[in-house]
Amino acid sequence: VRCQQYPPLRALQASAALRRASDEHKKEPLTSSSQQHFDSPPAGHQPEQKPQGPHPSYTGQGGQESEDYESEEQLQHRILTAALEFVPEHGWTAEAIAEGAKTLGLSVAAAGLFHSDGSELILHFVSECNTKLSELLKKEQKLVQLGEAEKKPIDEFLRDAVEARLKMLIPYIEKWPQALSVLLLPRNIPSSLNLLTSMIDDIWHYAGDQSTDFNWYTRRAVLTGIYNTTELVMMQDSSPGFEDTWRFLENRVADAMTMSNTASQVQSTGEAVVQGLMGAAVTVSN
């Protein structure tokens, strides 16, 4: 918590000026559409023409020179996104972040905004992938609702979802093991676990109501297991197009389905056994 005179939303003058300068080459900045980002209120986009005093007002309209402004989080978001391009070469490191900052016209020292082990970069990437997955699943669901596509059976749905998500790792696959180890650092575990569980929940949400006799916790655990093991297999997979991984995935999902059937069988067997015992007890008592 900072006790400062000005609200945390004051204009980032320098970065705003940079963005204006590179307007023609600028690509669309990522909007905070992902549910994982609870950014400060969105930037005002009206160009302020009338001259303002040296300090921005509380309504957040920037100084006379900037047309829009962004919060620190949004700028950090942009730097991390730009940094992803350099990960295959530099790994998930402060160097990649520095290169990313350079492309935005900022000094390489801006990498100091983040931890030197690249944690934020990795978490940012994971959350972006999860968002992409959600959007993909939502689109598919819409198609099904509109009747333009068939509803997939549950095992196929899970397989496709996990495959789509894991495919997003492919450009970074060389350095991904390094990322996994960073995600396991005690400091990062709460965030990485959070991201993982929300992704799994998402997949189950879009998988729909198909009854599989699992209760909620088991479903989560099963899919998390499938996802994690497949991810690890993918790290060591050198087959063309990762076909070994997808086959592994298929088997694991099939196992999970059989397990659910077995579970229901066990349950009904269990009931039968109990009935038998009751019958035996009654017979004995007579």
Partner 1 sequence: VYQVFETVAKKYDVMNDSMTLGIHRVWKDILVHKMNPCPGTLLLDVAGGTGDIAFRFINYVRSVRQRQLQRKLKHHQNLSWQEIFESYQKDQFNSLGDSQVVVCDINREMLKVGKQKAQHLGYSEGLSWVLGNAEELPFDDDKFDVYTIAFGIRNVTRIDLALQEAYRVLKPGGRFLCLEFSHVSNPLLSRLYDLYSFQVIPVLGEVIAGDWKSYQYLVESIRQFPPQEELKAMIEDAGFFKVDYENLNFGIVAIHSGFKL
Interface positions with partner 1 (CB under 8 A): 2-6, 12-15, 17-18, 72, 75, 94-95, 98, 101, 104-113, 116
The CB-of-94 to partner 1 minimum distance in angstroms stands at 6
Classify residue 113 by its DSSP letter. Answer: G
User: How crowded is residue 229: how many other Cβ atoms within 10 Å of its Cβ?
Assistant: 13
Smallest distance, partner 1 to C-beta of residue 104, A:
8
User: Least Å distance between CB 268 and partner 1?
Assistant: 60
The angle that helices 189-207 and 154-167 make with each other, rounded to 10 degrees, is 140
How far is residue 9's CA from residue 7's CA, in Å, rounded to a whole number?
5
Specify the residue, 55 or 205, whose C-beta has the smaller distance to partner 1.
55
Q: Which is nearer to partner 1, 55 or 247 (CB)?
A: 55
Q: Which amino acid is at 281?
A: A
Please, are residues 126 and 200 in contact by the beta-carbon 8 Å criterion?
A: no
CA 105 – CA 108 distance, rounded (Å): 9
In the complex, minimum distance from the CB of residue 14 to partner 1, in angstroms, rounded to a whole number: 4
Of the two residues 44 and 225, which places its CB atom closer to partner 1 in the complex? 44
Q: How far apart are CA 31 and CA 77, in angstroms?
A: 10
CB-wise, 2 or 146, nearer to partner 1? 2
Of 68, 16, 20, 63, which is closest to residue 47 (Cα–Cα)?
Answer: 68
Query: CB count, 10 Å around CB of 266?
Result: 11
Tell me how far, at minimum, the Cβ of 86 lies from partner 1, in Å.
Answer: 12
Residue 78 or 159: the one with the smaller Cβ distance to partner 1 is: 78
For the chain, the helix, strand and coil percentages under 3-state DSSP, each to the nearest 5: 65, 0, 35
Report the residue number, 18 or 180, with the smaller CB distance to partner 1: 18
Output the smallest distance, CB 21 to partner 1, in A.
10
Q: Which residues contact 12 (CB under 8 A, 6 or more apart)?
A: 69, 70, 71, 72, 75
